[in-house]
Structure 1
Amino acid sequence: MSDYRHWFWLGVVLLCCAFVYLLHPILTPFLVGILLAYMADPLVDRLEAWGLSRTLGVVVVFLFFTLLLVLGLVVLIPMLAKQLVRLYELAPQMLDWLQQGALPWLQTKLGLAEGFWKFDRIKAAISAHMGQTSDIVGLVLQRATASGLALVGWLANLVLVPVVGFYLLRDWDVMMGKIRGLLPRQREKQIVGLAAECHEVLGSFVRGQLMVMLALGAIYACGLMLTGLELGLLIGVIAGLASIVPYMGFITGIGIAMVAGLFQYGLDPLHLALIAGVFIVGQALEGMVLTPMLVGDRIGLHPVAVIFAVLAGGELFGFTGVLLALPVAAVIMVLVRHVHDLYKQSDLYAGHEDPEL
């Protein structure tokens, strides 16, 4: 009977993997909807505690996030688009600066062979491409509408995400209760305990780290723009997005910002110090304020585990695998932790001396 149960659960796992593999092209809006419902459920629960009905609480939360999205589209997106266009225009000049200034200096300091850096072909290709694509928006629209069916599918997914998220969020507690009611009675307490640990790991990382990421993106972008860095908003947003992995945003952001600062200001120590100061202040705020307040002392996912999970999920199942990577990594982390505890309590770990010896 025990072997039968093991084979049964192994079959369930394999069936789920096959389901994801075969249907992953259409799973993206549903997974994004589940993610939205999972992240917004604590807000709706708090509104329910204040006396609102579940449906009204969901409507309030959706209106709030819709307002944030509209503000982002109206304010942030046009500013980022301008900086992307500006970066596109500055690319040949930056290559000139690298070829004639920065790289010869590195070549002299490191003793590299002359002609080691060859950027002429890259610069010529970029310049020729710019001459052929003066209307960037027109090019993007032309490629986006090249396949009408693909465009319709993309728009359908865009509309489907909030619909799925709304209904899942409204019925979230009911669905969790029904799933718990289907658990084997003898194992209910153990399974609920494991699920609670997975929820703690995911909650601390997905909700907490996402808030840290947004806060750091705002700090970096505002700070760099105050220093006068021309591409400050774009670099700040990139550093904030990279902060989904702890310390990755700081390393990536300060590296790109210092290169952009050297290109814009040269070796001006004041501006370079101000740019470095923005990231030092942001890192200090993350360690002393943001992470303790938004994440707390709960155990999250290790940065290496996050990187491996996202890359492995993307390689196996594309964007659907990226969405599934963190939940699966959290479950595996909890199971490995319990296997580790069982191993430390086992005779295999402790060992027993032979009494005859």
Structure 2
Amino acid sequence: MYPDLSYLFHDLFGTATDNWLSIFKTFGLLVAMAVLTAAFLLKKELQRRAEIGQFQGVPAKIISNAPLDIQDYVLNAFFGFIVGFKLVYIAQNLDAMQADPASIIISGKGNWLAGIIGAGLLTAYYFYLDSQRKKQGIKEELKTLYPHDRIMDISTVAVISGIIGAKLFTVVEQPQAFLADPMGQLFSGDGWTIYGGLIGGFVGVYILLRRKAIPVLPVIDAVAPALIVSYGVGRMGCHLAGDGDWGIPAAAQPDWWFLPDWLWAQDYPRNVLNRGVEMADCVGKYCNHLAEAVYPTSVYETMMAFTIGLILWSLRKKTTAWPGLLFAIYLMFNGAERFLIEGIRVNDRHEGLGGFTQAEFIALILLGIGVVWAGWLLLAKKQDAV
């Protein structure tokens, strides 16, 4: 496994595992790649839908060189403070940053003096920019904006609301841990619920689309393939880092199995959680592997996600006439995939949910919504044709 980039470079080039590359955690990098993948696929599909007339452009007045107001100065001063506050502290505590970036970045730890200096410098810089803007004068331009022109807004809202949703669902799933240490749970790098992120992201984007008067159904159809493909990319990050999203102990490998052994069972050497027993002759901070090999469920989910993504991508043009249908199909595939994988995945089961895991329960709901929604759309289309 590769808990951070230093281990990857160690295997490729024989470099040390305790260098500055250890700051870059594999899971975080793959999550960032997943977001970029989703944004890329979503923009391409939104452009296609705009070209066939599914979206109407909205006239918008674009103002350049407008004077900065007090809100701009406050926000930029805050940003400058955070940059100085964190960067100097990271430089002073590089060992701690290498060991656990989340405990440094997502925390109240920092250098206050550097933060104040950073806020002052950025505020002064914006004073200078404001004076240059005034010299050039205000310029107004009327442009027609389409949903793909707002991809940065959509992606930003989806990520922020997704993070909030993931944390809230983790609190609901593990209330004892939250009550024992509320601030630690909210601002730690641990505890993320994928369905919480999905639902939180959906709510945030829905509100944004309604505020911008953008049709919701065509957009969520466009986002369906992007969502499932980016999910697969993120799950590969789980596998490579060995972050605990693995399966139950694997059964004996059957004689008919023709794929590589690690696809049946994996003991996750050098997993980022340092779970299991210590490895012999291991060098570095991560030297444990699981005592009993488990099913590599993250790999299975990646393979299923990419397959579903390919199916949805191939259906996107054929379902354009039924706004909402592609997303309904996505819900069915998503729910079925997650429900099936939960059968061999390590997770907590809840008596209050009928013995299901939280993910299984939500997966069944999503599957049911998808079936009913798709059935209703197809039935309505059939009645219209009569």
TM-score by length of 1: 0.28
Higher-strand-fraction structure = 2
Higher-helix-fraction structure = 1
Q: Which has the larger radius of gyration?
A: 1
